[in-house]
A and B are shown apart, each in its own frame.
Chain A
Amino acid sequence: MASIIDIKEECALHVRNFDFTYKGASAPSLKKITMPIAKNSITALIGPSGCGKTTLLRSFNRMHDLYPGNKYEGEILFDGRNILDPKEDLIHLRTRIGMIFQKPTAFPMSIYDNVAYGMRLQGIKNKTELNDRVEKALKDAAIWKEVSDRLKHDADGLSGGQQQRLCIARAIAVEPEVLLFDEPTSALDPISTQGIEKLIIELKDRVSIIIVTHNMQQAARVSDYTGFMYLGDLIELGYTEELFVTPKEKLTQEYITGKFG
């Protein structure tokens, strides 16, 4: 039986009895997941490849809806509403729950336009407001100093780490309440990784963060809570320190000591 701790903070998201089945699959990829996601904290999801951590992450902003035929069952509560409701306004949901991807996804436009993109989608046209918020987002993402003199340049010219910070700036510019990070540093060098990790920790004052990582050290460095997943089950959710030092489940113990995975 899974060992899920009661969190002390308020919940940003609450997953209840959540099953997810990919199109054409005979068995669900996520099985009866129940987990709270603490507000203004960082929750890391770890586990071996194929355990369903990214699948779970992509359920929070209903990314799976881009590919028809996938099936959600159960509940994910956000602000008291079940976001798995077929009538949920996905465009609105995705402005409140942002996402950063594994590979940097700078759009083929200027640095400025990249950051302004989400705000423009929301109908913000006022030049001063756009300028201010672009600058603030870039500062918050710790990339302002590097790009302030070339905002009109193509974002393609930035390095991988810079592009990833640009994507974070773009995501926080629309002021989401939750940010989903899908292995955000797996394509980056150690120094860029360090920068992104520092940034993620700084962001938690303002947003609730869920991060999927294949790197256990990273989970231990940045997160407050860690969930260990295995074969579509959430095996254990606990305080990060406790989970890595005194795991309650045998499977967790075996995974973090490197017996499998």
Chain B
Amino acid sequence: MTAVQKRIFINKLALIFSTLSAVIALAFLFWILGILVMKGVSALNWNIFIYEGAPPGYAESGLKHALVGQLILVGMATGVGVPLGILAGTYLSEYGKNSKLANTIRDISDIMMSAPSIVIGAFVYAVVVIPMGHFSAWAGAIALGIMMIPIILRTTDDMLQLVPGTLREAAFALGAPKYKVIMDVVYRGAKAGILTGVLLGVARVAGETAPLLFTSFNDNFFTTDLNQAMPSLTVTMFNYATSPYEDWQQLGWAAAFILSMFILGLNILGRLILLTRKKGK
């Protein structure tokens, strides 16, 4: 075998192995998704959206309580996480820049992003649930909001830094004060990127169970009382899936399917926005 033939052979070998690895990795993903879709779709029916939780064996049982609870929790978390994340990201990119403080915040935020979510749940349990004396939607939303902050902070920071410095200078050169430069020019330039960060942040926390176990806990009935335990799709899914009852397990599949589609939808939307922005340039 000549040197060239050897190189071609090694090249082919590397290609085969890496393709094989990719296929194996993806196979698991499609396996999971396939079963989820199969079992999930067959478990779907209108009752799910009409009825709240019921004891096993009741025909009129559904997931309305968990769907609404999930939306309330994620919505409130977005209300906490998005403003804090965007403002903190703005500080890093526009004011802190490469200062020691800014870089320390970046490091801490990166650590927070990879912190086990159950730790955040335990933290909120200690500072919110115990003083209040009971589980509440507030506590759940705060836990999810805290998880969202580092994601949105980092994307905002990155996206704002992509806005060319000369654009800022041009606005300053027209006599704009700094806050105007940021709001009118920098935010506008980074609009699509920030929105994508927000969507990905929401998608990330919407699938969380651990931080909710200690905070909003769960409830098998419909409620909008923010001071009480609040059901969520994830915790409901966990409870139903681990129960011995066939119909509860079915509802668990439906919950898993709906949640996955919601998160998938958010991710696709985020990608689409980024894509159209790139095309526009």
Contacts and interface: CB of A to CB of B under 8 A. Distances in A.
Given A107-B184, A108-B188, A63 B170 contact: no
Given A107-B188, A108-B188, A156-B280, A170 B174 contact: yes
Chain B interface secondary structure, helix, strand, loop or mixed?
helix
B175 A171 contact: no
A42 B269 CA distance: 52
B110 interface: no
Given A117-B184, A121-B180, A156-B281, A105 B174 contact: no
Contact of A94 (B167, B175, B191): B175
A121 B176 CA distance: 7
Interface in A72-101: 91-95, 98-99, 101
Contacts of B169: 63, 66, 99, 101, 105
Given A91-B177, A118-B174, A171-B174, A103 B166 contact: yes
Nearest to A103: B166
A36 B29 CA distance: 72
Interface in B159-175: 164, 166-175
Interface magnitude class on chain B:
20 to 34
Given A117-B184, A156-B280, A156-B281, A107 B171 contact: yes
Given A91-B177, A105-B167, A108-B188, A63 B172 contact: yes
Contacts, number: 67
Contact of B174 (A102, A103, A121): A121
B274 interface: no
Nearest to B165: A66
Interface in B200-255: none
Interface string A154-193: 0010000000000100110010000000000000000000
A148 interface: no
Interface of B: 164, 166-177, 180, 184-185, 188-189, 191, 280-281
